[in-house]
Amino acid sequence: MRKLPADNMICLGSVKELDPVKTFECGQCFRWNADENGVYTGVAGGRAARVVTKGKKVYIKTTNEDFYGFWRSYFDLELDYEAIRQGFDAGDYLKQCAGFGAGIRILRQDRWEALCSFILSQCNNIPRIKKLVETLCRCFGGVFEYDGEAFYSFPDAETVACLTERDLAPLRCGYRAPYIIGAAKAVAGGGIDLDKLALADMDEAMKALLSLDGVGVKVASCAALFGLGHMEAFPVDVWMKRAMREHFPPDFDPRSLGPYAGLAQQYIFYYARSGGKDSSD
């Protein structure tokens, strides 16, 4: 078993820039969980880490190598979110949402993991999605050790491509099983090149994703935003539909929000989901 030493606390910045609660609970990721002390433990990129808030600062327990080689990019630390928020120009409601959601960062998740996870997400709530993803990893992912515990990486597309619906039966993901197998085959077989789609423009990426069975506009936009790094992608689910119905004109075009529309979407979504109430109140 590969061991990852975890003896090192590195500062990720202030809560204002990276709020673990908002970032991990805003629905974009499924493998971060808080313990009773509010310490988050998560798995990404075949690594595990803990994220700890101490006062106004946020720290990650990992090696220097993994921080610079992986987590810094995963948490999108190079991007100035404050400046992007200032740049939004779409009225008081978005300002309100952005103020409320300040601290959310769009995690740069693994492309295949994001696609697969959001296929599984359809018509499910977050606890169940988390359970599905966790089971998928335990059954078919690689095991490694971190901080004396066993963790499981997300199975790569090549692995899932070789599975049958029968293999996936223990997952109990129902009609989504053939969808993820099909997507895995496309990704592993080169029918869809996620690396290329990350560099392509969003419309091209969306078009390719939508060609997959079981991937509609909502799942494709989530994969584009959270996996491919297309910050202009604007996922619209039932919560967003309601928020937009109540606060935006009927002919509102998300593209008018510019290249970071996806971040605006997260602010609006998080605000709507939280009912405008801060979880720390």
> Should residue 252 be labelled a site residue for DNA when binding is judged by CB under 7 A?
no
Listing DSSP states for 243-264 in one string gives HHHHHS-TT--GGGG-TTHHHH
> Should residue 238 be labelled a site residue for DNA when binding is judged by CB under 7 A?
yes
Report whether 243 contacts 274 (CB < 8 A): no
- CA 74 centroid distance within chain: 10
Q: From the candidates 54, 218, 241, 277, which is the catalytic residue?
A: 218
Here the tokens at position 220 are 């494709």
Answer for which of 9, 11, 126, 199 binds DNA (CB under 7 A) is: 126
Closest to DNA by CB, 27 vs 42, is 27
Closest to DNA by CB, 194 vs 212, is 212
Alpha carbon distances (Å) from 185 to 43, 67, 117, 144: 24, 32, 15, 25
Which stretch, 4-12, 48-56, 198-206, 232-240, contacts DNA (CB under 7 A)? 232-240
> Should residue 138 be labelled a site residue for DNA when binding is judged by CB under 7 A?
no
Q: How many CB atoms lie within 10 A of CB 235?
A: 23
Work out the angle at residue 221's Cα, subtended by the Cα atoms of residues 218 and 223, and round it to the nearest 5 degrees.
Answer: 110
Which stretch, 38-46, 57-65, 106-114, 215-223, contacts DNA (CB under 7 A)? 215-223
Which stretch, 3-11, 13-21, 72-80, 230-238, contacts DNA (CB under 7 A)? 230-238
Residues that bind DNA (CB under 7 A): 27-28, 121-126, 128, 169, 172-176, 212-220, 222, 235, 237-239, 269, 273
